[in-house]
Structure 1
Amino acid sequence: MKIIVICSGGLDSVSLAYKVAAEHELVGLLSFDYGQRHRKELDFAAACALRLKVPHQIIDIREIGRHLGGSALTDDIEVPDGHYAEESMKITIVPNRNAIMLSIAFGVAAAQKADAVATAVHGGDHFIYPDCRPAFIDAFQLMQNQALDGYADVTLYAPYVNISKADIVSDGAKYNTPFAETWSCYKGGEHQCGRCGTCVERREAFHLAGIDDPTNYEDPHFWAVATGNLCAQEIK
């Protein structure tokens, strides 16, 4: 199966790229510049494509992003610290982000004769992001079946949709994913902050998977204090 992976440069999507490269035919990585404050993640996606020796396309949808205001990921709004399970994390929603990106990706896949588009949405996203839930994945596939009827048959491949980020770390390790060469932090600083929702989730995932976290965090002890996991003090 020929698959295009939507790759942000984060831990989940880079792990997915390595999984697809091992199990299927990876034909390329597709990234989106929507005006995110952590745009440096796209450099990690580009580096992933180079390592896997596949084409990498960055689609500029910044003009669309400018009309999706009110998110801490795109506007001058402070990114909250803490776990994704906290209500405050809803400020990181970019409305319809995945629906927009997937629609474009399916068009690209149809034009390039790919069999599937892969997305790394996972179970940990369900609480905050409605366009990461299984119901959305199923509905989007039905919509695309109609949108491309008679022209192309493209499948939405979402192998992580019902599993945790810790499971993704375990799966990524199986395929030798270079976790240190991934970017999760929403703040886009010199190093990953260790405090925002995606950093806390990342640190927790490595802990639960029992795999060493190679990430250089600006605040390596925040997760330990926030969760009461004193063993996290051992992180680098």
Structure 2
Amino acid sequence: MSEYDGVLLASGGMDSTVLAYDLKKKGKNIILLFLDYGQHCMEKEYETLKRVVPVCYEKNIKTIKIGDVYKESHSRIIIEANLWVDNVVAEDLYLPYRNLLFLSIASAYAQSVGVKNVYSAFINSNHAKEIDCSMDFFTKLESLLEVYGSVKINMPYREMSKTQVAMLGLTLGAPIAQTYSCQVNSQNPCGACPNCVDRIEAMNNLIKEV
């Protein structure tokens, strides 16, 4: 048996950061799995992850490189846009089966190191365009991997909004303001991609609530 209680897909974004603090509060010893899939903001995400992760998990960050999968992609998640020139629409951010790939890799890694639980902070977003981002998809994949393998997929926030996750983050003391998750630019949040829209709405709602 592994010394770890689970593997968490972590990116330095708000949702996975909140889940890391959530699992820490529950006393879980977890591996934080960071995937380098050729995203233009990889360095920004990784540096952010190291900064926002609970101190007790700093030594538990593991990186897996899978960039070759998307090296031919023209997605703006892979090829960074110039915010002053390029007109980026939601369809430009599509990456085929990204969530399926991430969860499959995390599950394969977890089984390889003897861990039975994979944690993912995917939320119920109205702005995400990926075909593998629906509640139905997550439910079916969760069942599939549990039936045909020894790994359980845990997505505790899949029925929550970004606002609800942000509020939970505040109660847990997670540094949500320091997280980063823009899909278009690696330095300055574009404010228009699905991740940015969700984040802005959540922050505005927090201001109203607090």
- TM-score, normalization: structure 1? 0.76
For CA contacts below 8 A with separation 6 or more, give which structure has more relative contact order.
Answer: 2
Q: Measure how far apart 1:34 and its partner are.
A: 0.8
Please give the residue correspondences for 1:118-133 in structure 2 after superposition, counting only pairs within 5 Å.
Answer: 118-124=119-125, 127-133=128-134
- Find the partner of 2:51 among 40, 47, 52: 47
Superposed, which structure 2 residues align to 1:89-168 within 5 Å? 89-124=90-125, 127-148=128-149, 153-168=150-165
3-state DSSP of counterpart to 1:156 = strand
User: Which amino acid in the other structure matches residue 201 of structure 2?
Assistant: E
Question: Is the CA contact 2:123–2:159 (under 8 Å) kept in the aligned structure 1?
Answer: yes
| 2:19 is the counterpart of 1:16 | yes
Encode CA deviations 1:164-203: one digit per residue, 9 max, x unaligned: 1001101111111111321122233433343443223211
Deviations 1:61-114 (A, max 9, x none): 1111214x13211135567879xxxxx312212111111111111111112222
1:65 corresponding residue in structure 2? 70
Q: Which residue of 2 aligns with 1:35?
A: 38
Aligned position for 1:74: 78
- Distance in 2 between the 1:126 and 1:192 partners? 16
Aligned residue for 1:139, secondary structure, equals helix
When the two structures are aligned, how many residues end up with a matched partner? 203
Structure 2 stretches lacking a partner, 5+ long: none
2:21/2:54 contact within 8 Å kept:
no
Provide TM-score, normalisation by structure 2: 0.84
SS in 2 for 1:131: coil
| Structure-1 separation of matches of 2:176 and 2:117 | 25
The separation in 2 between residues aligned to 1:49 and 1:76, in whole angstroms, is 26
Is the Cα contact below 8 Å between 2:128 and 2:194 reproduced in 1?
no
What 5-or-longer segments of structure 1 have no aligned partner? 83-87, 213-236
- RMSD of aligned Cα (Å): 2.6
Amino acid at match of 1:64: V
| Percent of residue pairs identical | 26
